[in-house]
Amino acid sequence: MIELEHLTKSFNGKKVLDDISLSVGAGEVVSIIGPSGAGKSTLLRCMNLLEVPDAGRISLGERSMELNASGRGHLSIAERFRTTWLRTELSMVFQQFNLWDHKTVLSNLMEGPTIVLKESRKEVEQRAHGVLEQVGLAEKAHAYPSDLSGGQQQRVAIGRALMMRPKAILFDEPTSALDPELVGEVLELMTNLARSGMTMIVVTHEMSFAKGVSDRVLFMENAKIAVSGTPDEVFGHPRLANYAAKLGASASPAPRESAPEAAAPDASGEAEGRS
Ligand SMILES: Nc1ncnc2c1ncn2[C@@H]1O[C@H](COP(=O)(O)OP(=O)(O)OP(=O)(O)O)[C@@H](O)[C@H]1O
Ligand SMILES: [Mg+2]
């Protein structure tokens, strides 16, 4: 359903995505893991054109978009317009929630469908109440994000993604900004979504989710998908030995690039890895 062909992206002359091809089927749950600076966030952001790839092709269902060197990292306003479908059909959930602080939970959910998709407010509002029920926040419709815990805010953000009726949801480290005691409620919601058949691509440091919930795991390293397969295949792969050892050493993220043999190409930019 989602097909990426030969995506490449460089920042300031440094390749961050190096000829990435990937296809994800409807209902599939794919986790992306790997060291800081590997290109995981950039891959997600390129998928829905939050970041514009330098070259490659992105297809979603029947539609397809070719990026070529003439565009090099930019879209014209007309192209942005023509590719709105890609951003709306691949909803994104960010580490930092990115909710509108000055709007109620209900308004946060209604914004996309009413403003971008131009759906009727009445119908959207009804649907929003259903989605709030689904994410376990029915009683918070009129609360503001600042009234909510981080876990609740992230569940609102997932609800907002669902409101777009996306073909798939892209998650970029959705639990990394949460206090440890709030991680569980968000993972539980994501697990339920996965079981309900939602197509999901999840960048995560939560190995329990990657191992236990995903159909497939991709290990990214140095701008490439270095290993891909079932959770068992990937976590048993010798290429992950270093990464797994580091994860074991510190259960929380903030991985540091200290592996001697991974040194040269990637060690420089890793510190400012952003999401
Ligand atoms: N907008 C940007 N401008 C310049 N360089 C960028 C930009 N976004 C990412 N990079 C660089 O691209 C590389 C890959 O970044 P990316 O955020 O995709 O890594 P990541 O795998 O998500 O890492 P992390 O686990 O730390 O989130 C890094 O070296 C980063 O500094
Ligand atoms: Mg990232």
Strands 29-33 and 200-203: parallel
Residue 8's H or E segment, with its range, is strand 2-11
Nearest ligand to the CA of 269 is 1
Q: What residues are paired with 30 via a beta bridge? A: 201, 216
Q: How far away, in angstroms, is 36 Cα from ligand 2 center?
A: 7
Atom of ligand 1 nearest to the CA of 268: 29
Residue 101's H or E segment, with its range, is none
Assign 234 a pLDDT band (cuts: 50, 70, 90): very high
Residue 6 burial by CB count (10 A; 0-12/13-18/19+): exposed, middle or buried? middle
Which whole number is the average pLDDT over 237-252? 76
Task: Kindly list the protein residues whose Cβ atom lies closer than 6 A to any atom of ligand 1.
Answer: 11, 16, 34, 36-42, 269, 272-275
206 in Cβ contact with 189 (< 8 Å):
no
Q: What residues are paired with 5 via a beta bridge? A: 57
For every residue of 14-83, DSSP letters joined together read EEEEEEEEEEE-TT-EEEEE--TTSSHHHHHHHHTTSS--SEEEEEETTEEEEE-TTTTT---HHHHHHT
Atom of ligand 1 nearest to the CA of 43: 18
Residue 219's H or E segment, with its range, is strand 216-221
111 in Cβ contact with 105 (< 8 Å):
no
What would the pLDDT profile of 266-275 be if each residue is shown by its tens digit?
Answer: 333 333 333 3
Q: How far away, in angstroms, is 257 Cα from ligand 1 center?
A: 14
Atom of ligand 1 nearest to the CA of 45: 18
Name every residue whose Cβ is closer than 8 Å to that of residue 59 and which is 6 or more positions away in sequence: 2, 3, 4, 5, 65
- CA–chain centroid gap for 138, Å, is 25
Handedness of CA 48, 113, 215, 192 (dihedral sign): positive
87 in Cβ contact with 167 (< 8 Å):
no
Whose alpha carbon is nearest atom 4 of ligand 1? 11
In this prediction the pTM is 0.88
Question: CA-to-CA distance for 206 and 200, rounded, in angstroms?
Answer: 15
Token code pair at residue 65: 């978009």
What does pLDDT average to over the chain? 88
Whose alpha carbon is nearest atom 12 of ligand 1? 16
Atom of ligand 1 nearest to the CA of 173: 27
Which whole number is the average pLDDT over 33-43? 96
Q: How far away, in angstroms, is 39 Cα from ligand 2 center?
A: 7
Amino acid residing at 245: A
Whose alpha carbon is nearest atom 18 of ligand 1? 39
Tell me the residues surrounding ligand 2 (ion) with CB < 5 Å: 40-41, 275
Nearest ligand to the CA of 35 is 1
Which whole number is the average pLDDT over 147-161? 98
Assign 84 a pLDDT band (cuts: 50, 70, 90): confident
Q: How far away, in angstroms, is 126 Cα from ligand 2 center?
A: 35
Handedness of CA 231, 236, 241, 246 (dihedral sign): positive
Q: How far away, in angstroms, is 261 Cα from ligand 2 center?
A: 22
- What confidence score (pLDDT) does residue 249 get? 61
Amino acid residing at 112: G
Which whole number is the average pLDDT over 195-212? 96
Q: CA triplet 77, 83, 87: central angle to 5 degrees?
A: 115
